[in-house]
């Protein structure tokens, strides 16, 4: 297989070709987000099968997040050097292979290792897709376009949460990874076909070298605004994503829902995201960027507290919906800031953003894991809500200085 002599990311595309690229990136993002969240509703089942505590079983989530975050430090320079779409296509192909092997895991240790490898491969999908949009779409249309990509990732999250719970309850948790492998394989074939041509391989002579890319990373980290955005993003990951990993467990333990039902209820978190992404232009017009950050933080706080202390199932449902809507309002605002931190090195900047998010998530999961084994999840969710109050004020001020 050979590749075009022009940079795949920078070649001139017709509107129809650009739509096709976005559709395939959306499919890859769907699969990537499904793989990220597919283990959340399985934790109780995995703890029973491997005879460990739920907190110990959560290593399948935290390991994925840690490796995902670390891998961003490589994918940013790789995307800038070799072309973002090419790197995405190869990452998706690796995900298909790794997911198939994950289904064969016969111990928790092997499952954790495979989830780490999956995190390493999946790390090259969504952040580089965002960076590609940043290269292609003017700032004034970027939030709306990113919201469209977000729609696919939200659907992937919903699908992963539901199918993870469904498979664990009915087909067996291994079936979830077999289906996931087939989905990644489809996305990989379509992406590679899109990029495949009958010309000589692409030249990287004018692309930045890896040493140059790492120096660029150091230069970015020397910028105060970049450090602010990355720090706030890490806090968001710890407070919101860390809590989200244990929401199905809390729905199962506190509200008495089955594993499959808890995963299904968590789909409402994704519905909240869809409500935002499908109306992103209107939300932005009504509230502005700063208003989105403030309203989003408020809804997340309401959702976390409602989930923690609700006494009826409908309260848990409403809490998941509010938390999802609020998170995507807040997160999309930070995404746009990330794409504009360093336009000349957008691939590196956006993958640093993703790295911070998932480092934060891994720390949040580790802290939450302590609380779940002590039956303190409600208190942990309340503490996270208090943190989001502070986070919302910081983001409000950060966006105001843009």
Q: What is the pLDDT of residues 198-255, one digit of tens each?
A: 333 444 445 555 666 677 778 888 888 888 888 999 999 899 988 888 888 888 888 8
Cβ atoms of 202 and 3 closer than 8 Å? yes
Does residue 152 belong to any structural domain of this protein?
yes
The pLDDT of residue 9 is 53
- HSE of 35, CA atoms in CB hemisphere, 13 A: 39
Q: Could you tell me if residue 298 is inside a domain? A: yes
More confident residue, 315 or 335: 315
Question: Does residue 112 carry a pLDDT above 50?
Answer: yes
Residue 325 to residue 64: CA distance in whole angstroms: 24
In a domain, 204, yes or no: no
CA gap 95, 152 in Å, rounded = 18
Is 279 inside a domain boundary? yes
Here the contacts of 166-174 (C-beta below 8 Å, separation 24 or greater) are 166/260, 166/263, 166/264, 168/41, 168/42, 168/45, 168/259, 168/260, 168/263, 169/45, 169/258, 169/259, 169/260, 170/260, 173/42, 173/45, 173/46, 173/49, 174/103, 174/104, 174/105
Average pLDDT over every residue of 134-154: 74
391 part of a folded domain: yes
| 17 has pLDDT over 90 | no
The whole-number pLDDT of residue 7 equals: 42
Q: How confident is the model at residue 401, as a pLDDT?
A: 57
Q: Is the pLDDT of residue 147 over 80?
A: no
Which is more confidently placed, 252 or 304? 304
Q: What is the pLDDT of residue 90?
A: 94
The CATH number for 36's domain is 1.20.1250.20
Average predicted confidence (pLDDT) for the chain:
83
| Tokens matching residue 136 | 């292609």
pLDDT (tens digit, 9 = 90+) per residue, 255-293? 888 878 887 888 888 888 788 877 777 787 788 888 888
Condensed to tens digits (0 to 9), the pLDDT of residues 48-95 reads 999 998 888 889 988 998 888 788 778 877 877 788 888 999 999 999
* pLDDT reported for residue 199: 36
Determine the structural domain holding residue 229 and report its residue range. 15-195+211-400
Do the domain assignments include residue 7? no
Residue 282: inside a domain: yes
In total, how many domains does the chain have? Answer: 1
pLDDT score, position 208 = 56
Is the pLDDT at 10 greater than 70? The verdict is no
Q: Nearest CA to 35 among 92, 86, 108?
A: 92
* Cβ-based neighbours of 249, under 8 Å, separated by 6 or more: 43, 44, 54, 262, 372, 377
Largest CA distance in the chain: 64
- Which tokens is 274 given? 């869809």
Lowest-pLDDT range of 1-10, 82-91, 238-247, 310-319:
1-10
Binned at pLDDT 50, 70 and 90, residue 38 comes out as: very high
pLDDT at 2: 36
Average pLDDT over residues 378-399: 90
Instruction: Residue 105: name the closest of 64, 149, 46 by CA.
Output: 46
Classify residue 205: in a domain, yes or no.
no
Q: Is pLDDT at 183 greater than 70 in this prediction?
A: yes
What confidence score (pLDDT) does residue 246 get? 84
| Average pLDDT, integer, range 299-316 | 91
pTM more than 0.85: no
Contact call for residues 38 and 176 (beta carbons, < 8 A): yes
């Amino acid at each position: 297989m050979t590749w075009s002599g022009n940079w795949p990311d920078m070649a001139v595309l017709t509107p129809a070709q650009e739509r096709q690229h976005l559709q395939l990136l959306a499919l890859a993002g769907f699969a990537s987000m499904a793989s990220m969240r597919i283990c959340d509703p399985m934790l109780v089942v995995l703890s029973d099968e491997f005879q460990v505590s739920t907190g110990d079983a959560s290593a399948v989530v935290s390991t994925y997040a840690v490796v995902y975050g670390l891998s961003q430090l490589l994918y940013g320079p790789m995307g800038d050097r070799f072309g973002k779409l090419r790197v995405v296509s190869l990452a998706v192909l690796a995900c298909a292979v790794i997911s198939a092997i994950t289904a064969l895991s016969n111990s928790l240790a092997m499952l954790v290792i495979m989830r780490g490898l999956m995190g390493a491969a999946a790390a090259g999908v969504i952040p580089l897709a965002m960076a590609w949009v940043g290269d292609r779409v003017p700032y004034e249309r970027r939030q709306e376009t990113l919201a469209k990509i977000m729609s696919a990732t939200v659907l992937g999250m919903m699908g992963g949460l539901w199918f993870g719970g469904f498979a664990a309850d009915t087909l067996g948790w291994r079936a979830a990874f077999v289906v996931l492998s087939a989905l990644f394989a489809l996305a990989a074939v379509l992406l590679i076909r899109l990029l495949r041509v009958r010309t000589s391989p692409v030249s990287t002579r004018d692309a930045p070298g890896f040493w140059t890319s790492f120096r660029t990373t150091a230069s970015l980290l020397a910028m105060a605004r970049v450090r602010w955005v990355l720090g706030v993003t890490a806090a968001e990951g710890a407070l919101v994503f860390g809590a989200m990993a244990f929401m199905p467990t809390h729905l199962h333990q506190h509200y008495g829902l089955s594993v499959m039902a808890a995963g299904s209820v968590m789909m409402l978190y994704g519905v909240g995201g869809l409500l935002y992404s499908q109306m992103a232009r209107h939300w932005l017009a009504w509230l502005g960027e700063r208003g989105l950050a403030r309203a989003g933080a408020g809804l997340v706080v309401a959702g976390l507290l409602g989930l923690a202390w609700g006494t009826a199932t409908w309260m848990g449902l409403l809490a998941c919906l509010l938390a999802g809507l609020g998170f995507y309002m807040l997160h999309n605002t930070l995404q746009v800031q990330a794409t504009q931190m360093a336009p000349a090195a957008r691939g590196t900047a956006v993958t640093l953003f993703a790295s911070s998010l998932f480092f934060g998530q891994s720390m949040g999961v580790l802290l939450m894991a302590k609380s779940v084994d002590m039956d303190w999840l409600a208190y942990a969710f309340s503490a996270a809500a208090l943190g989001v109050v502070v986070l919302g004020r910081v983001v409000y001020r950060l966006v105001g200085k843009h």
